[in-house]
Amino acid sequence: MTVCSTAFTTLGRAQAASLGNPGLPIAVIPHPFGARSRDEVRAIADKCVDEVARAAGVAVTA
């Protein structure tokens, strides 16, 4: 499992495939990420936390 911004998703998938893991789960976040406020980062995290947990094998309840 990895997290990539939209600008690097294609590169992340290619790298995973070249390392023998083409099915690697990738959580995609909006780009650019570094210039966002703390509140924006929290909102993004809230949106992708379930996806990351599922990819890590954690059961997520609604």
- Per DSSP, the residues of 1-62 read -EEEEGGGHHHHHHHHHHTT-TT--EEEE-S--TT--HHHHHHHHHHHHHHHHHHTT-----
pLDDT at 1 over 90: no
What domain range is 35 assigned to?
A: 2-55
| Number of structural domains the chain divides into | 1
Q: Distance between the two ends of the chain, CA-based, in angstroms?
A: 21
61 within some domain: no
- Confidence label for 62 from pLDDT (cuts 50, 70 and 90): low
Q: What is the pLDDT of residue 42?
A: 94
51 within some domain: yes
Structure tokens at 13: 């998938």
Q: Which residue has the higher pLDDT, 55 or 26?
A: 26
CA torsion through residues 31, 16, 51, 58, sign: negative
Q: Which residue has the higher pLDDT, 19 or 53?
A: 19
pLDDT digit string (tens) for 17-29? Answer: 999 999 999 988 8
Tell me the mean pLDDT in the region 23-46: 91
